[in-house]
Amino acid sequence: MTGFISPRLPLYASIAAAGLVAGLALGRVEPVALAAPFVLALVAAVAGREPRVAVRLSLDRERAVEGDEITATIELSSEHTVDRFELLVPLPPGLTVEKGRAQALRLRGGEERTLELTLRCERWGAFAVGPLLVRARDALGLRSWEGEACVAQMLRVYPSEETLRSLVAPLETQVFAGNQVSRARAEGIEFADLREWQPGDRVRRVNWRATALRGSLWVNEQYPERNTDVVLFLDTFAEVRAQGRSTNDRAVRAAATLARGYLQRKDRVGLVGFGGFISWLLPETGMRQLYAIVDTLLTSDIVHSYALRDVDVLPPRTLPPKALVLAITPLLDDRTGKALLDLRARGYDLIVVEVSPLELLEPDPAAAARLSHRLWRLSREALRWRYEQVGVPVVTWRDGVPLAASLEEVNAFRHLARPA
């Protein structure tokens, strides 16, 4: 710890010195008497010694969900008595503490003290709690020792998830077994249609009732259950942030929700963070992939960049053929708009979930500002129209509206859709 002295200490020293010198110069005792208490204060300050305090910080868990409360335990012990020990818990913006973030207490020699703080996780993210800022002071506050104590503890706060009743079904499925009923006909459970028997058809597929009615062999056709590849395409070029809310926060929440939903259906889910900093995860299935996706989402902050980017910068396996690409974007950056149109041109089954920034923007009452705001909204409408012209459904997810409602819009749009 680094030692500091109070500004009073040099003041008292100078007063004491001046009193003693004045006593000699004037040949009087009063200046010396005036200096005596200040000399004593100096001696009292110098008599203090640097404390040796052991500080240990621990969290009751390493992972939490937005809105959860975490208990942070601080254990303190000191060899010698510390008259006043102050500690401050520096917290990142996503964590808050109701009270007790800064505390002052007395530590007796050999005594162990335990403090508990309740941290509230206000926002998702990967946070470091600590190191603590500590300060020990003598009884009069004339000398102090400051420093950092204990090792920072990592805390991962996962985004809270929306409740989904159904997911968007992709137009095409993959070859492996899964929970999605394929549009293609093959061996499966769901009845699809009847057709005339052909050489090679199994006897068990013969529909005897239809055969008896028509006088020739007819067989059942089924829809097979297959898995799908889903790529969550997260636009991290820009965001709108106001009143503690942001489009990126909601986009991450939507991505986490969709990842869990599709992975529960045994689909393979991948992630592309497309912005100033590009990140990706190849499509995989299982719980491990869910944690990988959510951990990646925790670091998906907005990084401003002027670099031109398109989908060519992504590794080819990131976007497997016939994958459903769910783009979650506030539609604020032209580069994302172009990249999504490029994906559509390459034949990907693309859905755009527009995280609406309009609720976070209050148009300036000035006439020119209102006009520019209107023009900006019109340009967004034009972009949406361009997507719809190439067969890409665009749904707007407004603040306060469940994500499920927006996904139902997509399902309605795609009810009769066929692969392009």
Q: Which residues bind another protein (CB under 8 A)?
A: 6-8, 11-12, 15, 18-19, 22, 26, 28-44, 46, 83-84, 86, 99-100, 102-106, 139-141
Nearer to another protein, 12 or 218 (CB): 12
* Residue 131 beta carbon to another protein: minimum distance, rounded to whole angstroms: 18
* Residue 303 beta carbon to another protein: minimum distance, rounded to whole angstroms: 34
* Residue 163 beta carbon to another protein: minimum distance, rounded to whole angstroms: 39
Residue 250: strand, helix, or coil: helix
Pick from 220, 222, 221, 230: nearest CA to 173: 230
* Residue 7 beta carbon to another protein: minimum distance, rounded to whole angstroms: 7
Residue 127: strand, helix, or coil: strand
- What CA–CA distance (Å, rounded) separates 211 from 190? 20
Give one word for 42, left, alpha or beta, with left for phi > 0 and alpha for psi -120 to 50: alpha
Nearer to another protein, 28 or 288 (CB): 28
Pick from 145, 137, 64, 132: nearest CA to 102: 132
* Residue 82 beta carbon to another protein: minimum distance, rounded to whole angstroms: 11
* Residue 88 beta carbon to another protein: minimum distance, rounded to whole angstroms: 8
* Residue 68 beta carbon to another protein: minimum distance, rounded to whole angstroms: 23
- What CA–CA distance (Å, rounded) separates 419 from 81? 77
Nearer to another protein, 37 or 321 (CB): 37
How many CA atoms lie less than 13 Å away from 406 in the CB half-sphere? 23
- What CA–CA distance (Å, rounded) separates 271 from 292? 10
- What CA–CA distance (Å, rounded) separates 410 from 395? 7
Beta bridge partners of 383: none
* Residue 83 beta carbon to another protein: minimum distance, rounded to whole angstroms: 6
Whether omega for the bond prior to residue 320 falls within 30 degrees of 0, making it cis, is no
Nearer to another protein, 36 or 361 (CB): 36
Nearer to another protein, 81 or 411 (CB): 81
- What percent of the residues of the chain are helix, what percent strand, and what percent coil, each to the nearest 5? 30, 35, 35
Q: Let me know the angle formed at the C-alpha of 303 by 302 and 306, rounded to the nearest 5 degrees.
A: 130
Nearer to another protein, 90 or 363 (CB): 90
Contact 61, 21 (CB under 8 A): no
- What CA–CA distance (Å, rounded) separates 28 from 22? 8
* Residue 79 beta carbon to another protein: minimum distance, rounded to whole angstroms: 19
Nearer to another protein, 18 or 210 (CB): 18
The distance of Cα 53 from the centroid of its chain, to the nearest Å, equals: 35
- What CA–CA distance (Å, rounded) separates 41 from 10? 11
Nearer to another protein, 20 or 417 (CB): 20
Nearer to another protein, 35 or 230 (CB): 35
